[in-house]
Amino acid sequence: MTTTTKGPIEGYIVTTPSSTRDGDTVTIDAQSVYYRQVNEATRAAFADGAKHVVLNHVNGQRYIGTGIKGKDLKITVNGTPGQDMAMLMDGPTLEVFGNAQDGVGNTMNAGKVIIHGDAGDVLGYGMRGGKVFINGDVGYRVGIHMKAYEGLRPIMVAGGKARDFFGEYMAGGLLILLGMNSRLEGPLVGGYVGTGMHGGAIYLRGEVEPWQCGKEVGVFAASEDDIADIKPVLAEYCEAMGMDLDEVLSEPFTKLIPVSHRPYGKLYTYM
């Protein structure tokens, strides 16, 4: 029987994480600290007047940035944040140096999320405003049910490839997929793109086959006007990611928009 002990077993600890303050910036060491304490410390730092919270050694802690309100606040995450990051976030900028998991930007209202890595499934579910920029690949059901409301227009840009159900139920906003920073084999995007789409626009840097698209979607080559419309967004994305805008714009884009705002008008018969 082997008896080698490999040292301490890592896990989350329920404790207030250590933090240091330098001017407006508070740095928190999230190493193995349970999510509640990490997020409490984050909120406390902002309540105490900090403008920037840096979370180091993040791994799997859920709900980072969730529900935080304030336009001029910033959170920097070093590591792999857990589920539902930036859910219901309303204003701050949240920058992740690493990959993000599932559920980023769920029902987000305003602010900006920048992920310098890949992200998982169900990103931007019901997102109403703000921006989510992902450097790399994204999973299934990305941009699901993004919507627009009065002055709010949610924007999501992913630099890599996406799986099935990209832009499912999309009701508003802008969803862009570049296919440039990908580690995945296979097509730019999976099947059922824009299925159930009834608002907003999807731009793909490249082409899609008809089978990949939901039946509610019309596929067009992006016009010069279209490119002019998305160029400021791409410029902002390139700045965040350190990419070259001209290279991004060097390939033609495909534009997907809903063919109807009421795709199911004929589905029902009234009793």
Minimum CB distance to other proteins, residue 14 (Å): 5
Nearer to other proteins, 152 or 184 (CB): 184
Considering only residues 180 to 209 of the shown chain, the ones binding other proteins according to CB under 8 A are: 183-184, 190-192, 195-196
User: In this structure, what are the phi and psi dihedrals at residue 225, rounded to the nearest 5 degrees?
Assistant: -60, -40
**Binding residue for other proteins (CB under 8 A) from 14, 47, 210, 242?**
14
Minimum CB distance to other proteins, residue 80 (Å): 5
- What b/e sequence results for 129-149 when a residue is b if at least 16 CB atoms lie within 10 Å of its CB, and e otherwise? bbbbbbbbbbbbbbbbbbbbe
C-alpha–C-alpha distance, residues 165 and 212, integer Å: 9
C-alpha–C-alpha distance, residues 101 and 120, integer Å: 5
Under the binding rule (CB under 8 A), the answer on residue 10 touching other proteins is yes
Minimum CB distance to other proteins, residue 40 (Å): 14
Under the binding rule (CB under 8 A), the answer on residue 3 touching other proteins is yes
- From the CA atom positions of the chain, what is the Rg in Å? 20
User: How many positions of this chain bind other proteins (CB under 8 A)?
Assistant: 52
Minimum CB distance to other proteins, residue 88 (Å): 18
Under the binding rule (CB under 8 A), the answer on residue 125 touching other proteins is no
Hey, CA dihedral for 255, 133, 80, 90, is it positive or negative? negative
Tokens 């931007």 belong to residue: 124
Q: Are 133 and 157 in contact (CB under 8 A)?
A: yes
| Nearest in space to 126 (alpha carbons), one of 83, 92, 171, 163 | 171
Under the binding rule (CB under 8 A), the answer on residue 120 touching other proteins is yes
Under the binding rule (CB under 8 A), the answer on residue 15 touching other proteins is yes
Residues at the contact surface with other proteins, assessed by CB under 8 A: 1-15, 32, 34-35, 59-60, 62, 79-80, 82-83, 99, 101-102, 118, 120-121, 137, 139-141, 163-165, 168-169, 183-184, 190-192, 195-196, 211, 214, 264, 267, 269
